[in-house]
Amino acid sequence: MAIRTIFKDEDPVLRKRTRTITDFNARISELLDDMRDTMEEANGLGLAAPQVGILRKAAIIVDGEEIVELLNPELIDSEGEVGMDEGCLSFPGKYGYVRRPQKVTVKAQDRNGNPFTREFSDLSARAACHEIDHLNGILFVDLVEEPPEDSEEDAKGRNNPDGELI
């Protein structure tokens, strides 16, 4: 297991679409283990394979106390909508207001190729959508908008001492 380099900002690899994983082998397991180590080292809530330079449909997200591996994930249902400031390990120190579903259902495969369906809500739903977007070359900066004037983000003045708003 190793810490991999996280590709930053507008690196072209972040805009590329990924390929479906068909061989669930030791290389995929190693990638997932490295992604976990890399995400934990960076204090992230999720990481997608393109962020470490690999154009495969693989992502990991934190769901409560668990790290969930999502191979070939598809968003099959969503419910509600929540807007809040969001960041990304590929854009360190930058945040922007993004609307995401409050609850999602994702169909994916595990590291052995076994299919599963799982529901995520709140922050883990946001992370699942964010990472699935990465697999399609979509970055959170593409989705940033101004918060509604009556939102909590507007009320607190959106002062984030740890980063820059975009």
Q: Verify whether residue 81 is a known catalytic residue.
A: no
Global pTM reads 0.91
Domains delineated in the chain: 12-165 (3.90.45.10)
122: left (phi over 0), alpha (psi -120 to 50) or beta: left
Amino acid 155: pLDDT: 45
In the sheet that 103-109 helps form, which strands lie side by side, from edge to edge?
A: 46-48, 58-63, 66-79, 103-109, 115-121
Amino acid 147: pLDDT: 86
From 40, 79, 131, 145, the catalytic residue? 131
Q: How do residues 25-69 score in pLDDT, each as one tens digit?
A: 999 999 999 999 999 999 999 999 999 999 999 999 999 999 999
Amino acid 151: pLDDT: 58
The C-alpha atoms of residue 94 and residue 3 are separated, in whole angstroms, by 22
